[in-house]
Amino acid sequence: MEKFKYLMEPELVANIQKYFGVEKIQKNDRSNAVDKKEYTVRNKFWYYLFCFGTALGDELFYSSFIPFWFWNVDGAVGRRVVLVWAIIMYIGQGIKDLFQMPRPGPPVVRLQNKWAMEYGMPSTHAMVGVSIPFSVLLYTMDRYQYNFPLGLLIAIVWCSVICVSRLYLGMHSVLDVIVGLFLAICLMFPLVPIIDHLDNYFLTSPTAPILLLVSSILMIVYYPNSGKWTPTRGDTTMILSVCVGIQIGAWLNYQTGKMSASELTAPYAIMWPSYTMLGNTLLRTIIGFAFVLLTRTVCKTFTYNIICAILREDVDNLKKSENTLQNKHKTIVDLGCKYVACAAIGFNTLYLLPQLFRFMRIERPTFFTEI
């Protein structure tokens, strides 16, 4: 127990921050009362590196990395990685609201307040740092010919930067990060082989969309109640709905006969891209992200207004109202809006946009063979 207490101590995090050049400003009577900055950064390299590291577990990263991977890299690997990521994140987010462990306090300096309202243990950033890079590594090692030790090194560095960034920014205790890493590693052992079978079921079963929709909605409805409002439930809703949209998009591709197995056998050689391939990649990315932003804007606005009309709520008043557990109508509208918008983004990423790319003759040739 003494070791656990030591790993939870804010002083340990403060020492890590000091080591990387973050120093707390000592307040005195002469200090400027208007200046709310409580710290000074002595080493900008670590600051920008760890800001980038923490962004690897943020919504902006998910919304850019996941579509880019499907359009330009490998759909079969992408579907499996998204399933692993969604399941691990749901479990991590749920445990966070069940245990309700606070984030570290003084003398820790908080360089970022984006997730300040969420609880601390386990660190879901640490869980993402394991689930995404290592599932990519595990699902590609037998599928492609590449330098595995180099891939392993990249995954370790990726994970390490994310984990240390959470300590550097003052958002987690050392124990939070260790628990997140341990939990993600333990979950990866059964999930990685199971997901192969689950992905095949979601592609081939006629009832897969119904199962995905019903199970995901139930998981959101019965999400653990922490006793106070936090953004965790909304974030989890976005993760689950993106996964559902992606799986249903892939299912529709398969069921309509657009997907067929490749005649080549793994492991596949990785080709150096030609100028034409690079140009098509750039076009797919620009057009794809433009449609993703359009989908998000249209779906959020349309869904918000529709649900408000059903609940007989004024849109502007509801948006301005406080986020609390008692404000059930706002919770329903926010979660419903996020679910529809993110599911639509996932669906368009796998179904509508690949059809558009094919029509424009800029599709990735192997996209519809990645089963």
Q: At which residue do the structure tokens 């996964």 appear?
A: 243
Question: Which of 103, 125, 233, 330 is labelled catalytic?
Answer: 125
Question: Which of 79, 96, 166, 172 is labelled catalytic?
Answer: 172
**Residue closest to 78 by CA, chosen among 202, 199, 259:** 199
Centroid of chain to Cα 318: 27
Confirm whether 172 is a catalytic residue: yes
Centroid of chain to Cα 161: 16
> Would the CA dihedral through 330, 336, 340, 345 be positive or negative?
positive
Centroid of chain to Cα 242: 10
Q: How far apart are alpha carbons 344 and 337 in whole angstroms?
A: 11
Query: CB–CB of 108/233 below 8 Å?
Result: no
- Cite the DSSP H helix spans in the chain: 2-8, 10-19, 44-55, 59-72, 75-99, 124-140, 148-168, 174-204, 208-221, 232-255, 275-311, 315-320, 328-347, 353-359
**Residue closest to 259 by CA, chosen among 206, 195, 203, 343:** 203
- 26, 31, 36, 42 alpha-carbon torsion, rounded to 10°: -50
Query: CB–CB of 248/199 below 8 Å?
Result: no
Q: How far apart are alpha carbons 256 and 239 in whole angstroms?
A: 26
- Greatest alpha-carbon pair distance for the chain in Å reads 75
Q: How far apart are alpha carbons 175 and 244 in whole angstroms?
A: 32
Contacts of 248 (CB under 8 A, 6+ apart): 208, 209, 212, 213, 343, 346, 347, 350, 351
Confirm whether 329 is a catalytic residue: no
State the catalytic residues.
125, 172
